[in-house]
Structure 1
Amino acid sequence: MKKIYIDDLISCTFLSFTIIIVILNVGMRYFFNSPIKSAEEIATICFIWSVFVGGASCYRKKMHMGIDILTQTLPKKFKNYVELLINIIVMLMNGAFFCLSLKFTIISRVKPTAVLGISSMYVNSSLIIGFGLIFIYSILEILKNIKTILGKKGDENV
């Protein structure tokens, strides 16, 4: 049975809601000349969640676009070190973004959204989850890189 990851489930669910809400709103506007008042805001909130949590899912699956020119020109033994360096940079950056998103979300809890009037904290929580997951996934990648480097070094000494 295939594993279902929570980040995939969240991002796919919110992307599906975004599409359904937009299609419903277009249909209501076209056929009944009466759009759903809060549809744009709901679709935007769902899209924000799908983007940030989906970004974490892409990072976990190594689906982000990258520039491989540097790693293609390097010898194989240096590729692992470059990957390790990249993952350390990603971890540090997303750790910083995670901390900033925590502060931002706490500040935004008193600001209501324009149409629904709910706390912006519910929208901005996607930042915390997205950056937090990428931070965790990057730590796991760093551990894999270290195991690969140490494993290859151990094989070279034999």
Structure 2
Amino acid sequence: MKRFKKTLDKVLSDVCVGLLAFMTLITIYQITMRYVFNSPSTISEDILSYSFVWVSLLGTALVFGQKDHMRLSFFSDKVKGRGQIALSIFSELLILTIAISVFLVGGKAVMGVGALQISPTLYISMDWIYIILPISGILILIYSLINIIQSIQEFNESGKGEWQ
């Protein structure tokens, strides 16, 4: 499980780094075209906007996977043992519920609408842009399940108690 998570982390972080490098190059191109050649590019503006959304959502999945998201530690610092593991699992189940309802179900609905739209500058169907919603939802779902399994394993390995 740890090896799979580590591989997923690596692939996802490499994709985010690649997207950020791509966005940097597109930004340099856009600035050069606008200020040096006095011929602004509308295509690069759309590519940057879509890339920003993609890198944000993929980065969100990565952050949830690494448990680096913002959280209030007020409750988790107060409970120990089984209460802490229960709170951790509850938190992951809440994230899982949001990922399913917003990213998967909502993303599928948005993709349905996007299939009827064409990007005015790129001339592609907008569902190719909106597909990142269910993709990031699936990634967050996978990470939440991994986090739940790892929390239970760490609790059992720490000798604090068994679930039996």
Aligned partner of 2:79 in structure 1 is 74
Deviation at 1:15, TM superposition (A): 2.0
Query: Residues 48-105 of structure 1: CA distance to partner in whole angstroms, max 9, x if unpaired?
Result: 1101111111111222121112212223542222111100111111111212212221
State the identity %: 22
What SS class does the counterpart of residue 38 from structure 1 fall into?
A: helix
Q: TM-score, normalised by structure 1?
A: 0.86
1:44 matched to 2:44: no
RMSD: 2.2
Whole-angstrom distance in 2 between the partners of 1:104 and 1:37:
24
Contact 1:52 1:127 in 2 (8 A): yes
1:14 to 14, 19, 31: 19
Flag structure 2 segments of 5+ consecutive residues without an equivalent.
1-5
Deviation at 1:6, TM superposition (A): 2.5
1:125 matched to 2:128: no
Contact 1:91 1:134 in 2 (8 A): yes
Shifted more, 97-106 versus 132-141: the winner is: 97-106
Aligned partner of 1:154 in structure 2 is 162
What SS class does the counterpart of residue 161 from structure 2 fall into?
A: helix
What SS class does the counterpart of residue 117 from structure 2 fall into?
A: coil
Shifted more, 108-117 versus 134-143: the winner is: 108-117
Number of aligned pairs?
Answer: 155
Whole-angstrom distance in 2 between the partners of 1:114 and 1:53:
25
Whole-angstrom distance in 2 between the partners of 1:37 and 1:75:
55
